[in-house]
Amino acid sequence: MSICEISPEQARTRQTAGALLIDLRQAHERAGGMAEGALGIAKDELLAAPSLHLPSRDREILLICQSGRRSADAAAALQAAGYTRLASVAGGTVAWREAGLPLVQPLLDAGERDFYDRYSRHLLLPQVGEAGQRRLRDARVLVVGAGGLGAPAAFYLAAAGVGHLRIADHDVVERSNLHRQIIHTDAGVGQPKVVSARERLLALNPHIEVEAIPQRVTSRNIDTLMREVDVVLDGSDNFPLRYLLNDACIKHATPLVYAAIERFDGQVSVFDAGRQRGRAPCYRCLFPAPPPAEFAPNCAEAGVLGVLPGLAGVMQAAEVLKLLLGIGEPLTGRLLRFDALQMRFRETRVHADPACPVCAPGMEFPGYIDYAAFCSRRG
């Protein structure tokens, strides 16, 4: 037997006469407005135990969703379960709204209302959904550096709803930073970068926590900084700090999202050797020793196109979100290089070094070293 489809106007008339109207959408979808008088029960919840919600098989039941597809599918399933008086609202809530029929907002406290409104586009993604968004809310990320890479990355992590950002940087805002470090403003020149960053991030999303650490990251404080952190984002600009972060992430079994930039070129990767010994490489597997200084000048020496760190930082943020949500394929074991001048991308496989002095299987953590001295011997 085919499923009866009715218009929103017909549904409203039948509802007024006593039919039960059920909105099958998820809670975050209903938060935007639902048909007046409808009972909100998500489709999966209803079909998992229909008798719990619909004890009478003879009552007239009208089903509505967003566009009409889910309600038609649910009506067919209920019909097979023995319910006899069913109809699906053609066009769903979209058509109901267009017909000018009354809508109501579900009763939500201010925090939940903000959650559903702010992250509505995330909540529509099956790979994220409400459970994933709440997972982001509970996550903690250490962002090392509030400069060219950390600025765009932190912006997008805050916008995405990562609940706790710990940002460490000892530097202050300079006017020469502003063409690429978009988290800072001209009014913030001379202010500690982490303070400037915290102000902008909380202005964007006041429902997250931003912990500003105005300190140089060293082997003396790195263990404290990594306490209870889920992912580390490397926004540093020097080799000693990159090696330190790598070693600390192996020690704490925490994934490290890496990027580096120079002039028009950038590279991004994920190092997760601490959790995947022998299978995933670490930064030392890629660079056992730092390159000679003349082959790796910093931005102050070589210059950088202002948008370049934005490209790399946004890619870092995407990798952090994937790791926190457990979705997609992170850049683990892959080095993504890009040339912004030609807009070309190239990927290189990076393999775990079985003789790596830090991440090799069975290797005890050797302890932190004098990274400045180690890097001064390069070349």
pLDDT at 75: 94
pLDDT at 31: 87
Give dist(CA 157, CA 140) in Å, integer: 10
Confidence check: pLDDT of 295 > 60: no
pLDDT tens-digit map of 50-97:
999 998 888 999 999 999 999 999 999 999 999 999 999 999 999 999
Reading phi first (left if > 0) and then psi (alpha if -120 to 50, else beta), residue 82 is in left
Confidence check: pLDDT of 283 > 80: yes
Give dist(CA 252, CA 272) in Å, integer: 11
Residues in Cβ contact with 338 at an 8 Å cutoff, skipping those fewer than 6 apart: 265, 266, 267, 311, 344, 345, 346
pLDDT tens-digit map of 111-133:
888 999 999 999 989 999 999 99
pLDDT at 297: 57
pLDDT at 111: 85
- Average pLDDT across the chain, whole number: 93
Position 25 confidence tier, pLDDT thresholds 50, 70, 90: very high
Confidence check: pLDDT of 294 > 60: no
How big is the chain, counted in residues? 379
pLDDT tens-digit map of 196-242:
999 999 999 999 999 999 999 999 999 999 999 999 999 998 999 99
Q: What is the CA radius of gyration of the chain?
A: 27
Domains and CATH numbers, the chain: 5-107 (3.40.250.10), 139-376 (3.40.50.720)
Q: What percent of the chain has pLDDT over 90?
A: 86
Q: Is the dihedral of CA 67, 72, 77, 82 positive or negative?
A: positive
User: What does the block give as tokens for 131?
Assistant: 């459970």
Residues in Cβ contact with 8 at an 8 Å cutoff, skipping those fewer than 6 apart: 35, 89, 90, 91, 95, 96, 99, 101
pLDDT at 106: 85
**Between residues 377 and 173, the one the model is more confident about:** 173
pLDDT at 378: 55
Confidence check: pLDDT of 377 > 80: no
Position 296 confidence tier, pLDDT thresholds 50, 70, 90: low
Least confident of 103-117, 171-185, 223-237: 103-117
Number of CB atoms found within 10 A of residue 63's CB:
28
Q: Cα dist. 173→123, 148, 218, 273, 282 in Å?
A: 36, 11, 21, 34, 31
pLDDT tens-digit map of 303-327:
789 999 999 999 999 999 999 999 9
Buried b (16+ CB within 10 A) or exposed e, 178-193: bebbbbbeeebeeebb
